[in-house]
Chain A
Amino acid sequence: MRTRQFLKPRTVSREVDDIVNNLPMRNIGSQGYDPWGLNPDTAKITFTAVRWLYERYFRVQALGLDNVPGSGRVLIVGNHSGQLPMDGVMISFAVANRKEGARLPRSMIERWFPSVPFLGNWMNSVGGVIGDPKNCAKMLEREEALVVFPEGIRGSGKPYRLRYQLQRFGHGFMHLAMEHNTPIVPVGVVGCEETMPSLGNMKPIARMLGMPYFPLAPLVPLPARLFLNFGKPMTFVNDARNEREVEWRVEEIKDAIRDLIDVGISQRKSIF
C-alpha cells in the first residue's frame, strides 16, 4: 500500500492515468481489488513501464483490434512464445490502450507464479490470473475478456528452432467457449519468439528452482519488433458429441492463428 502510494505520483503520467481510468472495472471492490487481485493503482504503475515497452522497445503494431468486442465475454486465443509472458502483456495493453471500446483483457498465467514471492502478487494486481478452468468460467460469467494461450508452457518454453510452430493446444478453452457461449478472437503474435530465443531447457536448474523450465537464453528480452494481428471472432455452438469433434474445432482455431502468424511475418521487414 505504502509502496504504491510512493510510486504512483512519481511514475504515473497523465496519459497512463487516463488509460486505466477509462477501463471498465465493475468488479473492483471498495478497497481497490477485484476477486482476482487486480488493483488499478498497481496497474497504472506497471502500465507506465509497459507503455514504454509497447511503444518504444518492442514497437508493437496491432492490427484488427476492432475484432475484439468492447464489452461482453470474449476469449482472445493466441500463440505463446518468448519464455516470458510478454505476449500476454502486450495483447492486454493493446486492447486497453485503444481509443474506443478499451478494456483490460486478463491474461492466464502459469500455476506456479503465485508461489513466487513478490512476482505472484504483482502479476495478480496487474490483471494476471492463474489458468484454472474455474477461474475462467467465473470471469466469463462476469463478462470479462481473457487472453488464453492453449499451448501453455509447451509454447512459451519451446526452443528457438521450433519458432512459429504451434505446439499441442489444450481443449479447455474450447469447452469454456462452448459452455459459456463465448466468442473466440484468434490472435497471431509475431516477434516474441525473437525477444528471448532459447537454445534449450536446463532441466536440472528448473527442477531445483521449482520452475516449469529454465531457458538457455538472453538474460533480458531483446528489442524485437512485435506484430499482433487480431482475427474475426469465431463462435461455436455447444453441440459437440465427442472430444474428437472438439479437437476439430480447436484445429479451426489453430488454422486461423497460423494464418494470422503468416500475415504478421509478411508484415515484418526486419526482426529488430
Chain B
Amino acid sequence: MSSAKSSAGPSAPPESAAAARKTPARRADSPMRSRAAKSSPSSIDPGSRGKILVTGAAGALSQHVIADLRERGYETVGVEFRGVADDYPDTVDYVVDFNQRPFEDVFREHDFVGIAHLGRIRFTQSTRGRRYSENVVGTTRLLRLALKYGVEKVLALSTFHVYGADARNPSLIDEEYPMRAANLMPQIVDAVELENLFNIHLYKHPELNIVILRPCVIAGPGIKNEMSRMLSQSFAPCLAGFSPLMQFIHVQDMSDAVIAAFEQNHPGVYNVAPDDYVSYQDALVMAGCRRLFLPSIPPSLARRSIRALGRLAPPDYMIDFFKYSVIIDGSLFARTFNYRPSHSLAELLGHYRSAK
C-alpha cells in the first residue's frame, strides 16, 4: 500500500514483486526501516486525514474501502490473515495472524486514527476452531491494541447471519432482535461471539467509537462469499418448495456505507440493507443460473444432497438460509447516516449474468 511503502523510505533495497510484500518478519530483518518509520514525525503525510488500519485487505470489499478512503485523503495500511490467499493484492501490506506477537509491530510502526475491521475468515474458509481463534480471539487482541495505541474509531463488519435462519423469523429484523444463530446453527457461533465482543467494548470503551455493521448479502465483482459463488455458477442448488426472500447489497454500496460510518461518528450497531427484495430462485434466474432442484424433505435427505454437491453448494449447516427468509431492516442506518445504495438489484445480478 502506498503509505506504508513510502514509510519504508527510499533506502529500501530493491525487491522482487513477491518479496515487496511487507510482513513484520521482514521488517524485523530491517530495523533501520522500522526505526525510520517510527521516528518520522510525518508517518501521517501532511494533509492526510489520518491513517486507517484495514483488515481483510485482500478481500474485494476491503479493496473498495481502501480506494475510497484514499480518495478522501486517508492513508491506509492493509492487513490480511495468513493462508487465506495464495497471492495478495497491492492493498495488503502485512500478512500476519492477529494472535501472534508481530501483529503489535503494525501498531508500533503506524499511528492509526481508525480501524476498519473487515477481515473475517469465512464460514467455508477454514475449520471451526481456526475461525474461532482468528475471528474471536484475534479480534480481542485487535481491540486491546486499539485501546493501547489510542485508536479513535473502530468499525467492525458483522453479518446478517447472526440473526440465524428460522421459519419463525419476522421480516424486517431490526438491530434489537436476538442473535439467534448461536442457538440455531452453532457452527457459525464465531460470528455471534465477534459481535458480542464488539458490543462489550462499545459500552465499556466509548472512546473507541465502535460502529458495528450487519450487512445483508454482499455481492458484486470480486466478492467470493457463499451466495456470490452460487450466483457465479452455471448451476445452483435450490431446495424444492423453498425460495426465501433475500436482500443483496453491491460491494461498492457497502464500501460507501463503511465510509459513511467512518466519516460520521454515530457509534452503535446498524443493519445495512436496501429496501428491495428478491426471492432466491428469481435471483438465480436473473443471474443466469440454472436451478438444480434438490429434495427438501425430509431434512436429512436435503442435507445429504447438499453435502453430495460439495463445493457447488453451500455448507449443509447453512441450509436454512436457503429455506427461510432473513430480511433485515436497514432503515436506522439509512436515517442516521443519510445513506442510500445506488446499485439496483437488476444491475447487481446482471453482473453475474454478463460474466457467464
Contact = CB atoms under 8 A, between A and B. Distances in A.
Interface string A165-192: 0000000000000000000000000000
B297 A117 contact: yes
Contact of A30 (B325, B329, B345): B345
Interface in A10-65: 29-31, 33-37
A1 B240 CA distance: 14
Interface stretch (A74-82, A131-139, A244-252): A131-139
A135 B221 CA distance: 34
A117 B277 CA distance: 20
Interface in B342-356: 344-346
B179 to A, nearest CB: 15
Interface residues of chain A: helix, strand, loop or mixed (majority): loop
Contacts of B239: 117
Nearest to B177: A134
Nearest to A119: B241
A36 B244 CA distance: 10
B101 interface: no
B183 interface: no
B282 interface: yes
Given A1-B281, A1-B282, A138 B172 contact: yes
B240 A117 contact: yes
Nearest to B168: A111
A121 B276 contact: no
Contacts of A31: 276-278, 282, 286, 345-346
A118 interface: yes
A31 B347 CA distance: 12
A112 B344 contact: no
B277 A121 contact: no
A114 interface: yes
Contact of B324 (A34, A36, A114): A114
Contact of A2 (B285, B323, B324): B285
A118 B167 contact: no
Contacts of A30: 276, 344-346
Nearest to B243: A121
Given A1-B285, A30-B276, A34-B277, A135 B171 contact: yes
A5 to B, nearest CB: 10
B172 A35 contact: yes
A116 B279 CA distance: 17
B168 A29 contact: no
Contact of B277 (A2, A35, A134): A35
B167 A114 contact: yes
Interface in B136-176: 167-168, 170-174
Residue with the highest number of chain B CB atoms closer than 10 Å, among A2, A35, A124 = A35
Given A1-B281, A1-B285, A2-B285, A36 B171 contact: yes
Residue of B239, B282, B297, B345 with highest tally of chain A CB at under 10 A? B282
Nearest to B278: A31
Contacts, number: 86
A118 B241 contact: yes
Interface size class of A (residues with CB under 8 A): 20 to 34
Interface string B219-260: 000000000000000000001111111000000000000000
A33 B245 contact: yes
Given A29-B277, A121-B241, A132 B285 contact: no
B171 A138 contact: yes
A1 B279 CA distance: 9
Nearest to B344: A30
Contacts of B173: 134
A146 to B, nearest CB: 13
B23 interface: no
B323 to A, nearest CB: 8
Contacts of B329: 138
B275 A130 contact: no
A111 B167 contact: yes
Contacts of A29: 275-278, 345
A35 B297 CA distance: 26
B327 interface: yes
B296 interface: yes
B242 A37 contact: no
Interface in B316-356: 323-325, 327, 329, 344-346
13 contacts: A1-B281, A29-B276, A29-B277, A30-B344, A31-B282, A33-B277, A111-B167, A116-B241, A117-B239, A117-B240, A118-B240, A124-B245, A134-B177
Instruction: List the 4 closest A-B pairs by CB distance, nearest first.
Output: A117-B241, A29-B276, A115-B167, A134-B170
Interface of B: 167-168, 170-174, 177, 239-245, 275-279, 281-282, 285-286, 296-297, 323-325, 327, 329, 344-346
